Chains A and B, each alone.
Chain A
């Protein structure tokens, strides 16, 4: 921190737009202006928005892969250990480590591990469940799950200035701007 700053009294400024196109244009301008701590809230995924907000890649696929590999290995190891080590049953002299018959369960557990990892990983990275978030203070924010598109510049951004940022947001032609309290 270059200088001791008093914590801003608000969480950020929330601008409301009518269409995804208007939001995309606005997000582009905000990024050009140099703001980095911001987020957009939309009723459905808008293509290219995350990239404009500076979000390039997600670790969800890697987590899913690890979950799948773990599930598969654990499943195979379980079957091997049970069938060949801990509880060997000799059926007509057939091999104890009969790997072809272990494939179905290994496959199922790989899928299970990967699917659980994908969902739990997505939720964990998103920080959900999160019952409280400052944007929920704004009554109009309920429309973010209907037909409005919101852009929030957060006060933690180093460029954030309550007056200046508001003027800048106004220049982008939003429908409405609100202060988001903590």
Chain B
């Protein structure tokens, strides 16, 4: 250590949220040029083609599913919820960080959110879109998906509103809709910026239509900010409610290992944990490829690492409490399920999840790890895998051995399960590739605002 540290010095030492020397013009030109000026690079094309190939795999898997039915998957009785539900919960969890970063950090006035909120919101949308696919494909007859919605029909039947599965329909569609309008409202001023910067007539018309004639009027800004803040306030309880409702799908059932009051908070923390891991997984390559180190600084990466460390401990507490309650309740079935998770046939998945979600992330206590870009990237990937394993363990181990040993069974995924999982990852990545090519991945007007508030600014 070199001498005493005053708070001012400590503040100076923290990496800034925006690199000094940026002006309104430079942030505008830099971010908009990624979309408008920069040519389509071979790297982008290659990445898009690979992910698009995976989208084709997804379509192939879906087409075969529609023809042949869910029998092509590994699901059967007793494990009727296989990869489809694992993937659904995993994706929807990933979709939580975007709204969290945009809404909660906005309300908490955390300025560092500005450079990551836009693509985190896009990530949310695409993850929720991937998530939404799975329960629909799992329906058996996916073409009747609209039966989930309450509409007057010739059959004279209505959905059962006492079922968490119907709550899920409302929670996920509301979440998708609100995330979409939140994202779009955030984009309007930036679409106007692109309209004004675009050289090509076709892009001017396209961005012009999307910008809806935004002209930055002071009165408009006033209403805009009010609406944006209200949306943030609405999205905050919404984001908590969505994974809570998803956890009800399990917790309302009476199956040992699912029927537990800790599920809602534990699911929400897990969702934030995996969401931040996915934001890091995307932010690290993006800032390197597009030279955005001036906007997404080490401070952002370090803050996200700290959020992961904190939520990781909440998740770890959930694991401990599950096992503690299984023992403390004295319930034979709960006790067996906990033991079966740890030492049963799916034990390796449980231990892999403990390694990925609890043990390895403890490296984030070290500042050296938090400030090392490659280490953060690897850890983010590890947590992504760990969170997928967590959902696998929750869904499969509880189902495969329930109350009656005569109804026990084993579950193993087929190639179609894997094709759908990797296909959905391809869909997610392909949508992200399109997003970074056609829309500003960092909120331009909020960066200008940040410049005006920074000491070097006006």
Residues of A within 8 A of B (CB): 19-21, 39-46, 49-50, 53, 55, 58, 60-61, 64, 68, 75, 78-79, 82-83, 86-87, 89, 91, 98, 101-102, 104-105, 107-109, 111-112, 114-116, 118-119, 121-123, 125-126, 128-133, 135-136, 141-147
Contact pick for B181, options A83, A101, A105, A116, CB 8 Å: A116
Whether, in the assembled complex, B412 has its beta carbon less than 8 Å from a beta carbon of chain A, the answer is no
Q: Which of B44-52, B188-196, B387-395 contacts A (4 or more CB under 8 A)?
A: B188-196
B106 to chain A, nearest CB (A): 13
A147 engages B25 (CB within 8 Å) = yes
**Given A43-B448, A50-B219, A105-B226 contact (CB < 8 Å):** no
- Report whether B458 and A55 are in contact in the complex, using a CB–CB cutoff of 8 Å: no
Contacts of A44 in B (CB 8 A): 189, 216, 221, 445-446, 448-449, 452
The complex places the Cα of A82 from the Cα of B156 at a distance, in Å, of 11
Give the interface segment out of B9-17, B163-171, B319-327, B350-358. B163-171
Q: Which of A78, A116, A122 contacts B223 (CB 8 A)?
A: A122
If over half of A's interface residues share one DSSP class (helix, strand or loop), that class is named, otherwise mixed; here it is: helix
Residues in B140-184 with C-beta less than 8 Å from chain A? 150, 156-162, 164, 166-167, 170-171, 174, 177-178, 181-182
Whether A42 contacts B174 by the Cβ 8 Å rule is no
CA–CA, A79 and B199, complex, Å: 52
What 1/0 flags go to B222-260 for Cβ under 8 Å of A?
111111001100110110010001001000000000000
Complex: how many Å from CA A12 to CA B170?
Answer: 49
A60 adjacent to B150 (CB under 8 Å): no
Kindly state the separation between the CA atoms of A115 and B241 in the bound complex, as whole angstroms. Answer: 15
A-B complex: 4 closest residue pairs judged by Cβ atoms = A129-B212, A147-B24, A122-B227, A50-B222
- B161 near A50: Cβ-Cβ < 8 Å: no
Chain A residues within an 8 Å CB radius of B132: none
Which residues of chain B have C-beta atoms less than 8 A from A41's C-beta?
A: 215-218
Contact check: which of B157, B170, B452 meets A105 at CB < 8 Å? B170
Contact of A111 with B237 in the complex, beta carbons under 8 Å = yes
Task: Tell me, rounded to whole Å, the shortest Cβ–Cβ distance linking A27 to chain B.
Answer: 8
**What residues of B have a CB within 8 angstroms of the CB of A142 in the complex?**
196-197
Q: How far is the CB of A36 from chain B (nearest CB, A)?
A: 13
Which of B212, B226, B241 is A61 in contact with, Cβ under 8 Å?
B226
Contact among B193, B230, B446 for A146, CB-based, below 8 A? B193
CA distance A180 to B178 in the complex (A): 38
User: CB-nearest residue of chain A relative to B198?
Assistant: A142
Q: How many residues of B contact A (CB 8 A)?
A: 63
List of B residues within 8 angstroms of A115 by Cβ: 177-178, 181-182, 231, 234-235
- Assembled-state Cα–Cα distance A131/B214 (Å): 9
**Do A89 and B160 touch (CB < 8 A)?**
yes
Interchain CA distance A19-B446 in the complex, whole Å: 16
B297 at the interface (CB under 8 A from A): no
Which A residues lie within 8 Å of B162 (CB)? 83, 91, 98, 101
Can you name 23 A-B pairs with beta carbons within 8 Å?
A: A39-B218, A44-B221, A44-B446, A46-B221, A55-B222, A83-B158, A101-B161, A108-B238, A109-B170, A111-B241, A112-B174, A115-B178, A119-B181, A119-B227, A122-B224, A126-B223, A126-B224, A133-B213, A136-B215, A145-B196, A145-B197, A145-B216, A146-B197
Q: Which of B28, B158, B161, B219 contacts A147 (CB 8 A)?
A: B28
Q: A55 CA to B9 CA in the complex, in Å?
A: 41
Number of A-B contacts (CB under 8 A): 190
Contacts A42-B218, A45-B449, A58-B222 known; A105 to B227 CB distance under 8 Å? no
A2 CB to closest chain B CB (Å) equals 27
**CB contact under 8 A between A58 and B449, given known A119-B181, A123-B212, A135-B215:** no
CB nearest to A83 among chain B residues: B161
Q: Are A82 and B219 in contact (CB under 8 A)?
A: no
Residues from chain B with Cβ under 8 Å of A83 in the complex:
158, 160-162
Chain A residues closer than 8 Å to B158, beta-carbon distance: 82-83, 86-87
Interface residue? B362 (CB, 8 A): no
B217: chain A residues within 8 A (beta carbon) = 39-41, 126
Give the shortest distance, in Å, between A24 (CB) and chain B (any CB). Answer: 10
A145 touching B189, Cβ below 8 Å: yes
Q: State whether B25 touches A60 (Cβ < 8 A).
A: no
Q: With A115-B178, A116-B181, A144-B215 known to touch, is A108 a contact of B227 (CB < 8 Å)?
A: no
Task: Pick the most buried of A20, A61, A91, A145: most chain B CB atoms within 10 A of its CB.
Answer: A145
Q: Would you call B53 an interface residue if the criterion is a C-beta within 8 Å of the partner chain's C-beta atoms?
A: no
Contact of A53 among B178, B193, B216, B218 (CB under 8 A): B218
Given A104-B167, A104-B171, 6 other A-B residues pairs in contact with their CB atoms under 8 A = A46-B218, A87-B158, A105-B167, A108-B167, A144-B216, A146-B196
Contacts of B287 in A (CB 8 A): none
Question: In the bound complex, do residue A108 and residue B458 qualify as a contact, i.e. CB atoms below 8 Å apart?
Answer: no
Q: In the complex the two chains form, is B212's CB within 8 Å of A128's CB? A: yes
